[in-house]
Amino acid sequence: MNFDDLLYAVKDVADVATKKTEEVVGISKLKLEVCRVEREIQDLYRKIGQSTYQSRKDSCKNEEYIASLCDRVEDQLEYLDELRKEIADKKDKVICGNCNQQNEKENVYCKRCGSKLK
């Protein structure tokens, strides 16, 4: 190996290391976002419960408000699915559509629940 080859080899290793770091940072950011969205969903559930209680107690009509909260939950749950898929993708895994377990890409069936993976 001459000096130029050595330089290239070192550069390759550095590039791979940088890429790995970027992936880890990317995954961490996604995981943080998952936590944020999960908290928001919990908060929405709490508001839905509170509003339903108020609605019963005071016979006030806040059906529209409750419906809008439910829509928001739906959106956030979908978003959560996308985030989880993105994380799995970055780790070269696939997520089971039935139980959300991460599986190796080459697996045909989920290692937790046995469902067929797409």
Among 99, 104, 109, 116, binds Zn ion (CB under 5 A): 99
CA–CA distance, 7 with 2 (Å, rounded to integer):
9
66 to each of 5, 37, 43, 46, how far by Cα in Å?
Answer: 65, 19, 13, 11
Supply the minimum distance, in Å, between the C-beta of residue 18 and Zn ion. 34
Which of positions 4-43 make contact with Zn ion (CB under 5 A)?
none
DSSP conformational letter for 94: E
Residue 110 found at the interface with Zn ion (CB under 5 A): yes
Among 52, 54, 55, 101, binds Zn ion (CB under 5 A): 101
The backbone torsions φ and ψ at residue 30, rounded to the nearest 5 degrees and listed phi first, read -65, -40
> Applying CB under 5 A, what is the total number of residues that bind Zn ion?
8
Residues that bind Zn ion (CB under 5 A): 96, 98-99, 101, 110, 112-113, 115
